[in-house]
Amino acid sequence: NATWKSHRRSTRDFYVHPFPANCGRVTCVKFAYIVHLDERSIPSQHEYIFFDGHHFDGDQYQRRAISSEHATPNGWRTHEVDAATLQRDVQWIDGDFGSLHAIPKFTKGLPGHPYHPKRYIHDQIDETIRHKQRVPDQLVTIKVCVDCIDDTDFVNHLLHAAANGVWVQVQVDWRKMTLTHSDNYLRLKRSGVELLGVFCTPKHPLIEVAPDMHNKFIVFRGSDAILGSFNITFDRWGANWESGMTFSSQGMARLLDNIFQSIRGGVIQKYQVDPLSRFNLLYTFGRHALPNGKYYRPNHAILSEIHRARHSIRLCLFLLGELQGEHGDSVIDALIQARARGVDVQAILNGHLARQGDPGREYTMEEELRRPLLPAVYRLQQAGIPLLLAYGRYDQPVPYCPIHSKFCVIDERIVLEGSFNWYNTSVYSHDLYVVVNDPVIARIYLNEYEQTQRDFRIF
């Protein structure tokens, strides 16, 4: 709402609990801001005091002018990754896919297994600590950008790394951090580790549920990284079946750091991508552009790859909805069209979440199987696409399926993998997807698909 003398923006509410269960009473609420100008970020000079603790005792609303009267210096500093370097990284990876050293990772519900992502993560933290000890004067970092990290082993190891001189930076979803009353987040905050709770509150009529900071990646030492479908909550959700990839590539680490720094407040850098290249890393708020200047993001890649499919499509998905394209079509339309032109389409879905109704209620399996399918899933079924609705091996009071993966294999060579769920909320959340064109990696994912078929009850 702009006039000649003022400019008002629509704001969105968020909530601060003044008396949290495990943190003690809030004594002060401050805010600062960051301006983006000419491809660089400029933090405000001050942090402005919005509330003092005693104001919570009153029953009147608070309204303050932004001035230096109620302010303290703002020490927050932002950073931008060099766009030209990112462009060279993209071109290098396209020309030498092997330089990524990409390795698929699957949890298979076995957090104690030596090939589980948990083992990789803790080995990388140990190696980062050793690296810091070898070069004590060098800045050595661990950058965590994961929706939820309420995992005691992981937090203990991060604190140990920080105590040994590693610069640990953590970004999580605000709601997960504040609503769980978790001692793990509290210990991170009290240690002095940089811990950001990230808001994600866009408004759009297509959004099905509240968006969030849903990224799931970690970068170690600026050279090694892991991403996938999994939160770092293995002590609670260790039985989940998840998927992801690890990389040993400074170029890949920089591409992820571009996302990480933008969430800290920096300007996300723009670079050009080729949808037909061997590898693309795509972010929902990224500025990776086609040669015509149009941004190319995860939902675009999903629809494009389905439309290009010629022989087969295999899906293994936690959630599936009417993910929209830009021309009134949806991923459901694209899958139905693919089947109509002779593509062999098949999907394994989390059976419990593929149905309508309250997923938290208790049902017998007979009642569960009578629950109607979600409209998007029902459309696929009516089109004759084989749907494998998966459940765990044993009955639970609340029917349960451990599948939390979000991968797709097309024509036995294209793999789509990451944190992006196939519904519209993901378009407006912080989410990542990688597109890999490699038959060897595709075969590994197809093996996982086939094992999932064998190991779960399918209805």
Per-residue model confidence as pLDDT tens digits over 29-70: 899 999 999 999 999 999 998 888 888 887 777 777 778 888
192 compared with 26, residue with greater pLDDT: 192
Q: Name residue 36's beta-bridge partners.
A: 41
d(CA 218, CA 306): 29
For the chain, domain boundaries: 10-77, 83-458
Average pLDDT value for residue range 383-405: 95
- Residues 402-420, mean pLDDT to the nearest whole number: 98
pLDDT tens profile 163-187 = 999 999 999 999 888 877 889 999 9
pLDDT in tens, 323-369: 998 888 899 999 999 999 999 999 999 999 999 999 999 999 999 99
The pLDDT assigned to 10 comes to 67
What's at 373, amino acid-wise? L
**Which tokens go with 9?**
């923006």
The predicted-structure confidence for 293-309, as pLDDT tens digits, reads as follows 999 999 999 999 999 99
Containing 346, the helix (H) or strand (E) segment is strand 344-350
Residue 17 binned pLDDT confidence (cut-offs 50, 70, 90): confident
- Structure tokens given for 329: 């079509």
- Contact between 243 and 163 (Cβ < 8 Å): no
Residue of 399, 302, 395, 312 lying closest to 350 (CA atoms) = 399
Q: What's the CATH number for 83-458? A: 3.30.870.10
Q: Which residues contact 148 (CB under 8 A, 6 or more apart)?
A: 172, 173, 176, 231, 232, 233
- Which range, of 133-142, 199-208, 251-260, 283-292, averages the lowest pLDDT? 199-208
In tens, the pLDDT along 82-131 reads 999 999 999 999 999 999 999 999 999 999 999 999 999 999 999 999 99
Specify the higher pLDDT residue, 281 or 55: 281
pTM of the shown model: 0.95
Write the single-letter amino acid at 446. Answer: L
**The amino acid at 247:** F
